[in-house]
Amino acid sequence: MTASAQATLADIGEPLSATTFVVVDLETTGASPRDCGITEIGAVKTRGGEVIGEYQTLVDPGAAIPPMIVALTGITDAMVTAAPRIGEVMPSFLEFLGDAVLVAHNARFDVGFLKAACAAEGYDWPRPEIVDTVTLARRATTKEEAPNKKLSTLARVFGTAVTPNHRALEDARATSEVLHGMLERLAAFGITHREDLDALRNPVPSTLRRKATMADKVPSKPGVYVFRGPRGESLYVGTSRNLRSRVKSYFTRGETRRGIREMLELAADVDTTVCASELEANVLEIRMIDQLRPRYNRKSTRPEHAAWVRLTDERYPRLSITKAAAGRDGWLGPMRSGSAAREAIEALQDALGVRTCTTRLTIEPRAHARACILKDTGACLAPCVRGSESGYSETADRARAALDGDVSLVVDALEAAVAHHAERLDYERAKEVRDALSAVVDAAARQERLRSLAACSIVAVRRIDDRWELMATSGGALTGAARVDEGVWAAADELRSSWHRLEIGDHVLIEEQELVLRWLERPGTRLLHVDGEWASPVGSAGSHLRWVEARRADSSPQRDATVF
């Protein structure tokens, strides 16, 4: 695959001196966000130890403030009578927070109230990175100097200029000073970058932390990484937009997955491959997992074996499930799961009358063979008895057409069956038939999408993060990718030459084809070069597909310098 120059990134992530923190404190009417309200919000925004903004407002909780809370905070009902309600306050507070790291003393309390307020007022919680100064204090202070981790105790230890007094802004100011005092101490333990903060919440054993030096040689660019064991064996394959930061995070953040922790204990080295785009990295990951079979990847259990539905090779064929690297003509799929394959078989049997018995029938029915009850109910033509076998060839032909993508007969029959069961108020059976029909249509739609992709070669482009991202595909495989600031047509011509350069073996993995299709189907994608027939699929499943701008009049822009 071709690649281009990447945007320059910080070598080892974001230094804490450049990280924006918003320290927040709340005053409330009680301890539970389910039945108590916020009475005051105070917040301090800092960067590099300097205060760059403050936020403070009283809030009308919508209920009387208990006398005990009044005595503690000094906030009375009269003070909040003219104050805004929390629904009016949250938009301005969330804007003040932005994408900063949210800091609080006993963060579970403050964050719990803020999340509850967002949920109650219909606002999306931004899911910021959260730092709890109580957790930091357990790592940055000793029991002798801070026998408890109360804010007043820590303020005394770090000599803050502001004394906590149970008012939101004052307490937020004191917490901010405590935060920076603790970060200065923790710098001696390697906590110097934003990516290191998680290590404070989830302690990492020293044996693993020492392995963080593996990241020193890793570039801060998007791509694929491979952890290797003592004998050079592949342990785990993954992708990241920032390889150095991701590799380092394994050894600085507390890993809770038992398998990955075991992998890290075995890891002796890491290899990386820089990629031009996220798509290229994801495709390379799939290929490497397929080739290397790393023991700690969940995807490593033969990812190319998807389920397909086919007719058996018999005189009177049945439907069966098979698994193979790629489907053949007359196979329906790939199915999303084994259960979906079984549902599809049931749908085809009900709609077309394909026999359900597992007996391998003789070419000529036996003289005294007798049919089962399915013949009497009209569910099977019973090729097992004389006089009935001749009509089964038409049933088999209709089944082959359905497996090849023409599911119109199946759709018509099962839609009628759903309506019939619904009229009889047998909604459970109607649901079963509907789900079986969905499995057939979904498989036929996937089949047509993959066939359309495999039938042509494409170079496409779309705008991502103020740059042009290009990809090339041929025969369903990704053959090249690039990201450029300008010169899109030159990059497209180079990628076009990659159509016939890539050797990927006898088959293209289904997962790779799906990744390529999802990239092409995203809004804003434009086709620059097309070789072969790239068209919206036809047939009974075509109406169930949503194809992006493949056939738009402007999908192949003219070579106008003003376009790119």
Domains of the chain with CATH codes:
16-194 (3.30.420.10), 202-300 (3.40.1440.10), 306-450 (no CATH), 455-551 (no CATH)
Output the six-digit token pair for 80.
């909040």
Long-range contacts for 181-189 (Cβ within 8 Å, ≥24 apart)?
Answer: 181/157, 182/133, 182/136, 182/137, 182/139, 182/140, 182/141, 182/158, 183/16, 183/136, 185/140, 186/136, 186/139, 186/140, 187/16, 189/139
Sheet holding 526-532, edge to edge: 477-484, 467-474, 456-464, 526-532
Residues labelled catalytic: 166
Write the DSSP string, 422-445.
Answer: HHTT-HHHHHHHHHHHHHHHHHHH
User: Is the separation of the CB atoms in 437 and 412 below 8 Å?
Assistant: no
* Cα three-residue angle 103-108-110, rounded to 5 degrees: 65
One digit per residue, the tens of pLDDT, for the chain of length 564 reads 544 433 333 444 688 888 999 999 999 999 999 889 999 999 999 999 899 999 999 999 999 999 999 999 999 999 999 999 999 999 999 999 999 999 999 999 999 999 999 999 999 999 999 999 998 998 889 989 999 999 999 999 999 999 999 999 999 999 999 999 999 988 877 778 787 776 666 666 767 777 878 888 888 888 999 999 999 999 999 999 889 888 888 887 666 678 888 888 898 999 999 998 889 999 999 889 888 889 888 765 555 567 888 887 777 777 888 876 566 667 887 887 788 888 888 888 877 777 776 666 655 555 555 555 455 445 555 555 555 545 677 777 888 888 887 787 878 887 888 888 888 888 888 888 888 888 888 888 888 888 888 888 889 999 888 889 999 998 888 988 998 988 889 988 888 887 775 555 457 888 888 899 989 888 888 988 888 765 544 333 343 333 223 322 333 334 433 333
C-alpha–C-alpha distance, residues 266 and 127, integer Å: 33
Output the six-digit token pair for 406.
């023409």
User: Is the separation of the CB atoms in 499 and 526 below 8 Å?
Assistant: no
pLDDT at residue 10, as a whole number: 41
CB atoms within 10 A of CB 185: 14
Question: What is the DSSP code (8-state) at residue 143?
Answer: T
- pTM for the predicted model, two decimal places: 0.59
Q: CA torsion, points 324, 326, 331, 336, in degrees to nearest 10?
A: 80
pLDDT at residue 187, as a whole number: 84
C-alpha–C-alpha distance, residues 446 and 464, integer Å: 27
User: Is the separation of the CB atoms in 486 and 420 below 8 Å?
Assistant: no
Question: What is the DSSP code (8-state) at residue 30?
Answer: S
pLDDT at residue 11, as a whole number: 43
pLDDT at residue 375, as a whole number: 52
